[in-house]
Amino acid sequence: MKYLANLSGLIAGATLAVLAPLSIAADAIGPTEKQPLNISAIVMFLIFVAFTLGITYWAARKTKSAKDFYAAGGGITGFQNGLAIAGDYMSAASFLGISALVYSTGYDGLIYSIGFLVGWPIILFLVAERLRNLGKYTFADVASYRLSQTPIRSLAATGTLVVVALYLIAQMVGAGQLIKLLFGLPYHYAVILVGVLMVMYVMFGGMLATTWVQIIKAVMLLSGASFMALMVLSSSGFSVEKMFANAVEVKHMQAKAANDKAVKMTEDAKAATATGAANAKELGEKAAKQTADAKSAAKVNVMAPGGFVSNPIDAISLGLALMFGTAGLPHILMRFFTVGNAKEARKSVFYATGFIGYFYILTFIIGFGAITLVSTNPEFKDAAGKLLGGNNMAAVHLAHAVGGNLFYGFISAVAFATILAVVSGLTLSGASAVSHDLYASVFRHGRVDEKQEILVSKMATIALGVVAIILGILFEKQNVAFMVGLAFSIAASANFPVLILSMFWKGLSTRGAVIGGFIGLISAVVLIVLGPAVWVDVMGNPKGSELFAYKNPAIFSMTLAFITTWFFSITDKSAQSEKEQALFLPQFVRSMTGIGAEGAAKH
């Protein structure tokens, strides 16, 4: 550990040296065209994989107990855990998706950045300390502390597995499309490669290996994004105002060019119609499409809000899902058990909030930089004038524009490392729900030794890896953009209400928690399926035929979960409910003081 502590110090110093000069996912990566082999990206990625597999080998030798496997023995420092949380949270959808949103819509892309970030003060002030004092390995330990174990752990495990499954599908499809674009590898090979690597990290190295994979990825991502933002600012004389003015000017010029092109195509179509040319109909259709594109381009004001999420209810609902969903994500909550005490848990959130906030500022600068440096460069456009690989590749193309082929290879490798780090955390969280919550607590009622539990967890890891690979391949051609949003909605509607009420409300009963939690989960899934995100975009039904008008259901499903949890708890007059209420005071004392809390493992 001394070696790793020194390494941590070096990493921190290197990060600060890179960061000193400067002050989600939005959508999944869509279908892409296979590109030629990118040798520099492949070499850098292989170096990353070799290094992280070496860490996995080291971690495997130190992982001896269940606490080592699930929580790295509780020996991770607050700074290391903060960096690992940032590595777990800053997904490829955040890096590529948010910068793509800023690239296409400007100021409005910030709604995701702000939503993802403001969940962290909630975790800092309401969740982290109490979670660490009450729990052991998973958030179900906290939710079931004074309530009936079997139904509450079953609910928590269901919520965990649904969130993990949705998140994993989005990440696996994103990984396959990203690698096909950046590395020139076939989609199926890419998905299998990610699946095999994530299983190896988790199965052999447990939480310790997963933590260090996330730390290394966070340092790589923050360093690369810092360099990109620095180069973007240098191109505008380190004037943020000039950067915005340049972006506005570029968008204005592009809108004018699109309009001029539409006028010319319309005149050509009219001339072809007048002369009875054979291709008159085709020219007319192309002119109509160009006219529509020109009108859309004219509406884009990169410094004005309201262009991306124009419906206020949708905007509030999305904000609620991102804010409270963060405090209900099982793979994030699990990280608080890796530190030694509540003080280190608070420090974890403090550092994580700083790193994540800084990262989202960088994505904003990167998005505006891509407008001025990428959208004006024909090298990054196809024959139709669209960005190669779609808007999600704006950040990757910007890396090529500011740093050449070598830095392009580095950012490509970082994007892949980002996915690996996130799926490793998700897989460990899902495996823990199966082994610790379902097998050890629900099926065996605590009568199980550590070796059996770890064996089940490793078997669950393999099963999750296989399922993730199969689903990743099956969903290759599907629009999976809604899945990350649904995962946050479920976390906010099923996991968060039960977790927060179990810690703060004396009147919560097992009946209320189970009914409310499942209603939150089911309503979030049903509403998003009936809404435009799935009903129209995925199922292909006509626009306007959706049965639920909003893309983001959290404002309804989360409210429903809290109300039903409250109602079925206050109407529960059973002896079991009275006993659970009596246990609230001892739970509250432990949550506030840490007396009786799990300590770090001794080695």
Q: Where are the domains of the chain?
A: 21-257+286-593
Average pLDDT per run of 10 along the chain, which is 603 residues long?
A: 38 32 37 64 86 92 89 91 92 82 84 84 89 88 91 94 90 83 81 91 92 93 95 93 90 81 83 79 81 73 74 89 92 91 92 94 92 89 79 88 89 86 92 92 86 92 94 80 83 94 94 96 93 85 88 94 97 93 93 76 49
Residue 471's contacts (CB-CB under 8 Å, 6 or more residues apart) are 165, 168, 169, 172
Nearest-angstrom CA–CA distance, 390 and 386: 7
Nearest-angstrom CA–CA distance, 603 and 600: 9
Q: Which pLDDT value is given to residue 26?
A: 33
Residue 512's contacts (CB-CB under 8 Å, 6 or more residues apart) are 564, 565, 566, 567, 568, 569, 570, 572
Task: Write the single-letter amino acid at 333.
Answer: L
Q: What pTM was computed for the model?
A: 0.84
Q: Which pLDDT value is given to residue 167?
A: 87
Task: Write the single-letter amino acid at 583.
Answer: L
Q: Which pLDDT value is given to residue 481?
A: 65
Residue 330's contacts (CB-CB under 8 Å, 6 or more residues apart) are 138, 139, 159, 160, 163, 164, 429, 430, 433, 491, 495
Closest CA to 188 of 197, 199, 177: 177
Task: Write the single-letter amino acid at 450.
Answer: E
Question: Distance from first CA to last CA of the chain, Å, rounded?
Answer: 10
Helix axes 510-530, 149-182, angle to 10 degrees: 30
Which fold, 21-257+286-593? Sodium/glucose cotransporter (1.20.1730)
CB 170 within 8 A of CB 480: yes
Unique residue bearing structure tokens 């340092």:
219
CB 139 within 8 A of CB 499: yes
Q: Which pLDDT value is given to residue 365?
A: 93
Closest CA to 146 of 587, 447, 568, 440: 587
CB 76 within 8 A of CB 211: yes
CB 539 within 8 A of CB 549: no
